[in-house]
Amino acid sequence: MTLAPVVTTIAEVRAAVTDARRRGLAVGFVPTMGALHEGHAALVRAARAGGGFVVVSVFVNPTQFGPKEDFSKYPRTLDADRALCHEAGADLVFAPPAAEMYPERSVTFVEVTELDRELCGPSRPGHFRGVCTVVLKLFNIVLPDRAHFGAKDFQQARIVAQMVRDLNVPVEVTVEPTVREADGLAMSSRNRYLGAAERAAAPAIYRALLGVRDRASGERDVAALEAGLRSELAATPGARVDYARIVDAESLQPITRIERPAVAAVAVFLGTTRLIDNVVIGD
């Protein structure tokens, strides 16, 4: 098993990127929290296909977890991650310890407005502030030309794209489609928390999203569509719906009718595991 090279300090990743640039290579970047799976591999392959020097970061970012969330038990599998990165074509893994990213009390954060009002924003206060802060820090450390994100985290990708625009960050953000298990479950590092019964129930999430996308070709009323989505999810054994919403795909604001592209997005607890998924409708 060949492992992609790893560095753990900002100085080392900067030196490697400077060297790549000196060799005339552009830099592609995939930020992750590790426990990598085929969804991440697809992002690394997209970065590889873009050419140049491909950096993957593996960093479980403390500032995007709430006090009652799974930061301390989030899976950490660096050797397997490095193997997947090598296989998918990454040149370097940047896996800093928390103290390297947040050496002393940081007092500066990226504040997100409007785009965090719905979906995961209210359920996870401070989450997108933590995401934007760490992504901007990583962009400033790696200085990539291109960065690759997954549509599985629709709101995150939308917020990062907006941050790049609003703050004039010279990075091209691209979004890759959600990679799924054969039964439709969106791949997620958190799927490994699921017990057997929860795993068996989990594909119902994507089935419910496909159902609402089908119904949206005739029914345009969002309240009716959301009610159907919510009741279908609630009928899943062991499921507790955190949210099941249809919002404008660009502004992420509530809508009453589907007249332009919208996203149906859900967060569902199966036991203590919170899973998210989405489909775009009406485009």
Q: How far apart are CA 90 and CA 88, in angstroms?
A: 6
Which of 20, 32, 45, 232 lies at the binding interface for ligand AMP (CB under 6 A)? 32
Q: Which lies closer to ligand AMP via its Cβ, residue 115 or residue 222?
A: 115
Q: Is there binding between residue 63 and ligand AMP (CB under 6 A)?
A: no
Q: Which is nearer to ligand AMP, 148 or 245 (CB)?
A: 148
CA separation for the pair 204, 239 (Å, rounded): 10
Q: How far apart are CA 160 and CA 110, in angstroms?
A: 11
Burial class for 80, CB neighbours closer than 10 Å (0-12, 13-18, 19+): middle
40 scored as a contact of ligand AMP (CB under 6 A): yes
Interface with ligand AMP includes 55 (CB under 6 A)? no
d(CA 227, CA 230): 5
DSSP annotation of 180 reads B
Q: Name which position in 52, 121, 130, 150 contacts ligand AMP (CB under 6 A).
A: 150
Closest chain position to ligand AMP (CB): 150
DSSP letter at 25 equals -
**Residue 40: active-site member:** yes
Could you tell me which stretch among 81-89, 134-142, 174-182, 240-248 binds ligand AMP (CB under 6 A)? 174-182
- Note whether 187 binds ligand AMP by CB under 6 A: yes
| Among 139, 112, 105, CA closest to 126 | 112
Which stretch, 81-89, 94-102, 185-193, 196-204, contacts ligand AMP (CB under 6 A)? 185-193
The candidate with the shortest Cα–Cα distance to 93, out of 12, 192, 164, is: 12
Up-side HSE of residue 6: CA atoms within 13 Å toward CB?
Answer: 18
- Cβ closer to ligand AMP: 189 or 273? 189
Min separation Cβ 143 and ligand AMP, Å = 19
Dist. CA 258–CA 127, nearest whole Å: 28
Where does this chain bind ligand AMP (CB under 6 A)?
A: 32-33, 39-40, 42-43, 149-150, 152-153, 176, 178-179, 186-189
Catalytic residues: 40
